[in-house]
């Protein structure tokens, strides 16, 4: 009966739990559970690593680009600054907040691979090392260009084949044609929708909780009894 109490100290209300286990297990026995815990933790790490790799290769829209901020607070962006982004697509991309806001909009349309590819190409053109250039080129091709790539961008067959032919000996301009096509697509298609989106409207304070929209008032000209012209405000 004593042995049972030592094996299951929770049934022995008079004996401390730690003391009971010390009497049942020697130092060499205590090593086994520790090794088992270490093995279990190692397996958990490997499982998490595989999951992370799977999410990256699957092209999940929850992935975060290295160029994206994790948390952008629109309260830090003034309406005046946001309004400048409507001048041109080039003006939008010049500002880090504009770039992030546009990326956020593209994520809502499940097309953030376009801006990520464009940014990757911009970074690619700054690389001087031939070794790094080859490594980056293969990464861009694998992630964005080849058929069934996790974040495949929408480019034509001939442009894709031209990149495939030179990918083993890439030049700094090998992605230029593809980058221009994706840039044009964003400028003509996504950018106008962004300017009319809730995201942009909130930034410019033209739409949002507690925001009141006022229309401009015109002034009409009327004549009094003496024939003098006067102005009278009227709302429209």
pLDDT of residue 206: 77
Q: Hey, what are 124's tokens?
A: 């690619």
Check: CB of residue 190 under 8 Å from CB of residue 114: yes
pLDDT of residue 205: 85
pLDDT of residue 42: 60
Check: CB of residue 152 under 8 Å from CB of residue 134: no
Count other C-beta atoms under 10 Å from residue 7's C-beta: 12
Q: 208 — alpha (psi -120 to 50), left (phi > 0) or beta? A: left
pLDDT of residue 110: 96
Task: Give the residue from 60, 66, 51, 53 showing the smallest Cα distance to 151.
Answer: 60
Q: Hey, what are 123's tokens?
A: 């970074």
Mind giving me the DSSP string for 198-226? HHHHHHTTSSSTT----PPPEEEEEE-TT
Hey, which residues does 29 pair with through a beta bridge? Answer: none
Residues sharing a CB contact under 8 Å with residue 47, sequence separation 6 or more, in sequence order = none
Task: Compute mean pLDDT per 10 residues along the chain, 236 residues long, and list them.
Answer: 47 47 48 53 51 39 40 71 96 96 97 98 96 97 96 96 96 97 97 97 75 38 49 42
For residue 85, the 8-state DSSP code is T
Residues sharing a CB contact under 8 Å with residue 76, sequence separation 6 or more, in sequence order = 97
- What own/partner pairs with CB < 8 Å and gap ≥ 24 does 219-228 have? none
Q: Hey, what are 97's tokens?
A: 């907040």
Check: CB of residue 81 under 8 Å from CB of residue 97: yes
Task: Give the residue from 53, 146, 155, 84 showing the smallest Cα distance to 114.
Answer: 155
- What own/partner pairs with CB < 8 Å and gap ≥ 24 does 126-132 have? 127/172
């Amino acid at each position: 009966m004593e042995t049972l109490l030592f094996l299951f100290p929770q049934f022995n209300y008079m004996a401390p739990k730690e003391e009971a286990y010390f009497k049942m297990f020697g130092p060499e026995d205590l090593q086994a559970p520790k090794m088992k815990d270490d093995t279990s933790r190692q397996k958990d790490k490997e499982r998490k690593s595989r999951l992370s790799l799977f999410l990256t290769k699957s092209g999940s829209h929850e992935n975060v680009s290295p160029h994206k901020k994790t948390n952008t607070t629109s309260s830090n962006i003034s309406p005046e600054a946001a309004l400048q982004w409507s001048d041109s697509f080039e003006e939008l991309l010049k500002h880090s907040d504009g770039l992030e806001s546009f990326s956020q909009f593209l994520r809502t349309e499940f097309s953030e691979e376009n801006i990520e590819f464009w940014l990757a190409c911009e970074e690619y053109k700054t690389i001087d090392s031939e070794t790094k250039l080859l490594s980056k080129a293969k990464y861009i091709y694998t992630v964005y260009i080849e058929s069934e790539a996790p974040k495949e961008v929408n480019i034509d067959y001939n442009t894709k084949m031209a990149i495939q032919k030179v990918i083993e000996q890439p030049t700094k301009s090998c992605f230029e044609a593809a980058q221009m096509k994706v840039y044009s697509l964003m400028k003509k298609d996504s950018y106008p929708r962004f300017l009319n989106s809730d995201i942009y409207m909130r930034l410019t304070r033209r739409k949002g909780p507690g925001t009141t929209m006022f229309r401009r008032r015109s002034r009409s000209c009327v004549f009094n009894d003496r024939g003098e012209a006067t102005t009278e405000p009227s709302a429209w």
